[in-house]
Structure 1
Amino acid sequence: MFDPYGSQLNGPVMWSRPQHGPQEHPHAMMVLILGVLGVFCCGACAPVAWALGARSLREIDASGGIYGGRHQVMIGLVLGIIGTIIMVAGGILFLLLVIGGRS
């Protein structure tokens, strides 16, 4: 059997398609974990999840389907925003209590 380019083949030509979808973005799970930590235990993780999530989301959109994990990044991003709001509100409340306690 010969292929179209003239070299001899030893059997039938088998063309295969990729069996899996897009590769998960390298930071998708980290954004999700930081977002959860930012809301439930460590508020300092929330702004990191927000920033890293926004960057990862831009990279996923620009990849043309190479990267997946958009749902994980979106959940981590939203949790990062919520955690940041909670952290800032808690800081403001703390400052008001400290200032109000001195009067």
Structure 2
Amino acid sequence: MTEDERFEDLVDEFQRLPEVTPPGASRGFGSHALRVHNRIFAMHVRGRLVVKLPKSRVDALVEDGHGVRFDANKGTPMKEWLAVAPDSPLSWAELAREAMEFVVGARKR
């Protein structure tokens, strides 16, 4: 299965949730993103799944070799965004669910 197909499967799973908006609802940055309450929690960029997670969680996943901090081509890696390594055994669905819960929780603060 290609990375594109993996992301399409993820979109199919999450777009069934009433508060989730699938990719294609906007243009530019985030046009290939899953959103919850209009906030991006997972996206497909340069063939990788990119998820928004707490900085401490991103730090741990990077340290364990599951990915790198996402850089939106601005030269500065983002603290709360992880670009998942293509060879990571972690479940994309579980990471996306964790990211969605993080974004929803951040919205409530």
| TM-score of Structure 1 vs Structure 2, range by shorter chain | under 0.3
* TM-score (normalizing by structure 1): 0.24
Structure number with higher relative contact order (C-alpha < 8 Å, ≥ 6 residues apart)? 1
Q: Which is richer in helix?
A: 1
Report which of the two structures shows the higher radius of gyration computed on alpha carbons. 1
* TM-score (normalizing by structure 2): 0.23
